[in-house]
Structure 1
Amino acid sequence: MDILLNVLKDRKITEEITISGSKSESNRLLILQNLFPEISIENLSDSDDSVHMQHALSTDKETVDIGHAGTAMRFLTSYFAVKEGRETVLTGSKRMQNRPIEILVNALKDLGATISYEDKVGYPPIRIKGKKITANKVQINGNVSSQYISSLLLIASKLENGLTIELVGEITSIPYINMTLSLLHQLGIEAHFEGTIINVFPKKEVDHQTVVVESDWSSASYFYSIMASSEIGSSIKLSAYKKESLQGDSCLAEIYQHFGVLTTFGENFIILKKEKETRKNILEIDLRDAPDIAQTIAVTCFSERIACNLTGLHTLKIKETDRLEALKEELTNLGASILVTNKSLHLQKSSEIKENISIKTYNDHRMAMAFAPLALRVPIKILNAEVVTKSYQKFWDDMQQIGIKIDKL
């Protein structure tokens, strides 16, 4: 489905939106729930990724296809490795079969897991023969994907002797590692992270409890972008959020002050309010701890006609698409002057935004959603718009609720 988004004019936004639970928290908790059936979960994400995860955990088929769900691929690799007596072929979409998994597979093999490649070495599909693992020490690079580390952490307490992980090199996306550890702590699992060493102690069962998933901060980013380009006095109330969030993307509240957007925290909600115009000429920020919001911020800067230097983006090369090259391509088509490296993005201040440009989404949900707020400036076309369901089922409904007119092409 291709759509045309029409520009908003002379409209002050005042709306309330409820956003589904965090995909990151939900997928971690789904793994933990299958390891510890004493857990109940509320406000689960309704994203395609979480649906794929639930299906993968409930099926008894040998071949498990998780589509585009990268988090599910990483977390399930470790999960099936410790499912004694079960043999699983874990596969996904064509893009997923070109996303690396070797670092995680090697770490699991070092622990004694039995995993082989069905086709190309280092990439899915992989064949996993579940077995009991007694080894309790492993090294893994800390600078590629925190999901590899979280994958190991999620199964660690179910290993007979627990697990000690030594992180080698620079450690990126630390908030996501801390999110996993915080969920373990919440369940009563003992774990410590000091320096480059993470220790997780064995736990046979946890207390019966219900865990409520906080709404997704990455999904909130698109409303921050909308507020940045809206009239002064506009506001959007989003639920359900909390000030002491486990999600690294909650740094949005601080970042978007640069665009005149103030965040007020209430009881399980936030209110975003446009208080003043963007005055900064250039935004320089290191996003190594929150790379998923890079696309939104880059498009906001372009919309607000300010320059930006975004660094810490090396993990974007191995996402649903090469997000840095995709951003460069689509922003250039809109009239931007932009340079990307393997780990950074540099956007110059733009004087114009071209109208009625078709934005390719590259099977990447965040490309579609990051560019949608440009409709406050110019009419814009989004190709393959249904890709947003990967993380945000109601995205286009919520865009219409705040006043963006959507026409199918």
Structure 2
Amino acid sequence: MKLRLTGPLNTLLKTDIRITGSKSETNRSLLLQGLFPNISIENLSNSDDAQVMQKGLKIKNGLVDIHHAGTAMRFLTGYFASQEGIDVILTGSQRMTERPIKVLVDALRELGADIDYENVEGYPPIRIKGKKLSKGKVSLPADISSQYISSLLLIAPSLQNGLELELIGKITSVPYIKMTLGLLERIGVSTSFEENMIRVFPKRAIEPTELIVESDWSSASYFYSVIALAEVGSEISLSAYKKDSLQGDSVLANIYGDFGVSTEYRDHCIILKKVANCQLQKVDYRLDNAPDIAQTIAVTCFALGIGCHLTGLHTLKIKETDRLEAMKTELLKFGADISVSDKDLTLKPSKIWSDHQIEVDTYNDHRMAMAFGPLAMKTSFYVNNAEVVSKSYPDFWKDLEKLKFVVQEV
């Protein structure tokens, strides 16, 4: 699907938008529900990733295809490996077969798992024969994707002796690790996280528990971007959010304060207000703990005509696409002065080329499509394969229309 995207004629905005549950929190909760069926879950994400996770958890034998869902790939690898009687081949899209899984597989094998590679060593598809994992100690590099770490932590209470997980080196994804531990504690599992050692204690059974999934802060980022580009006085209410969020991307509330956007917490909502125009020439952010908002911030800065230096982005190279190179390619189409390395992005102040015929390619990456959406506040353009937003936020284009963006299929 190709869309023509044009921003609202009136850039003084005011509307209410409801965003479904966090994809990250949903998939963690679903895995815990697979281990402890007396867990109930409210406000599930309506994303593709959540749907394939739900389907995958029901399969005991045969092929499990999770398409583009990286979270499901990592989480289901741990889940299947720890469940006696399961015999599956876990695979996904072409891009998924290029995303490494070796670190997680090696750790699970160390715990006693039976996992083999079907094609290329270190990459999906993988054959998993579930069994009782008897060992309870393992180590991982601390600077890898938190999804590998969380996959082990989530299955830990079902292991005979729980798990002692040592992280070697500097930890780069603390909020996502704490999200996982926080969910474990909500269902009554004891945990500890001291320096580089994480312990999760075994739990044979839990009391009936309801988990309420907070709405997705990554999805909120696009509306922070819209408000940053809107007129002073604009206001968007987003639900349902809380101040003591488990999600690392909630740092948005602090970052976008630099762009003149205030955040007010009220009755399970956040109220975003444009209170001032940005007076900065350049911003610097280290995003080890929130790499998924890097694309949004880069587009916001470009649209505001300011520079940015974003670091701590090493995990973006192995996402749905190489997000750093993809951002460089697409922003260059609009006249950006941008450079990237394997772990950072640098943007110099530059003016937008407004020829209205530019086509943004999305690389099967939902965040590429959505990060560029707010740029329509400044210039019209086309978005190729716009349906990719369904991976995490199927209603994204409809919600932009609530803000009077013109979204036309062509």
Question: Under a length normalisation based on structure 2, what TM-score does the superposition of the two structures give?
Answer: 0.99
1:396 aligned residue: 397
Q: Are 1:25 and 2:25 matched, yes or no?
A: yes
1:340 aligned residue: 340
Q: Which amino acid aligns with 1:15?
A: T
- CA shift at 1:8, angstroms? 2.4
| SS of aligned partner of 1:20 | coil
Cα-to-partner distance string for 1:195-238 (whole Å, 9 max, x where unaligned): 00000100001111111100000000000000000011000000
Contact 1:191–1:198 at 8 Å: present in 2 too? yes
Contact 2:8–2:403 at 8 Å: present in 1 too? no
Cα-to-partner distance string for 1:224-265 (whole Å, 9 max, x where unaligned): 000000011000000000000000000000000111000000
Cα-to-partner distance string for 1:25-56 (whole Å, 9 max, x where unaligned): 00000000010111000000000000000011
How far apart in 2 are the matches of 1:11 and 1:306? 20
- CA shift at 1:59, angstroms? 2.8
- CA shift at 1:89, angstroms? 0.5
2:198 aligned residue: 198
Aligned residue pairs total 409
How far apart in 2 are the matches of 1:352 and 1:319? 27
| SS of aligned partner of 2:132 | coil
Question: Under a length normalisation based on structure 1, what TM-score does the superposition of the two structures give?
Answer: 0.99
Contact 1:335–1:354 at 8 Å: present in 2 too? no
Q: Which amino acid aligns with 2:337?
A: S
Cα-to-partner distance string for 1:145-174 (whole Å, 9 max, x where unaligned): 110000000000100011000001121111
How far apart in 1 are the matches of 2:137 and 2:21? 33
1:95 aligned residue: 95
1:298 aligned residue: 298
1:323 aligned residue: 323
How far apart in 1 are the matches of 2:128 and 2:7? 50
| SS of aligned partner of 1:62 | strand
Contact 1:8–1:377 at 8 Å: present in 2 too? no
How far apart in 2 are the matches of 1:221 and 1:295? 10
Contact 2:12–2:230 at 8 Å: present in 1 too? yes
Contact 2:60–2:86 at 8 Å: present in 1 too? no
How far apart in 2 are the matches of 1:205 and 1:354? 60
How far apart in 1 are the matches of 2:234 and 2:361? 30
Contact 2:313–2:344 at 8 Å: present in 1 too? yes
1:359 aligned residue: 360
Q: Which amino acid aligns with 1:287?
A: L
- CA shift at 1:320, angstroms? 0.2
- CA shift at 1:61, angstroms? 4.0
Q: Are 1:387 and 2:379 matched, yes or no?
A: no
1:167 aligned residue: 167
How far apart in 1 are the matches of 2:11 and 2:288? 36
Query: What do you get for the CA RMSD once the two structures are aligned?
Result: 0.8
2:119 aligned residue: 119
1:158 aligned residue: 158
Contact 1:303–1:353 at 8 Å: present in 2 too? no
- CA shift at 1:352, angstroms? 2.8
Contact 1:237–1:269 at 8 Å: present in 2 too? yes
1:371 aligned residue: 372
| SS of aligned partner of 2:158 | coil
Aligned pairs for 1:229-240 within 5 A: 229-240=229-240
Cα-to-partner distance string for 1:261-282 (whole Å, 9 max, x where unaligned): 0000012100000010011110
Report runs of 4+ in structure 1 exceeding 6 Å deviation: none
2:289 aligned residue: 289
Contact 2:61–2:86 at 8 Å: present in 1 too? no
Cα-to-partner distance string for 1:286-336 (whole Å, 9 max, x where unaligned): 000000000000000000000000000000000000000000000011100
| Residue segments in structure 1 that go unaligned for 5+ positions in a row | none
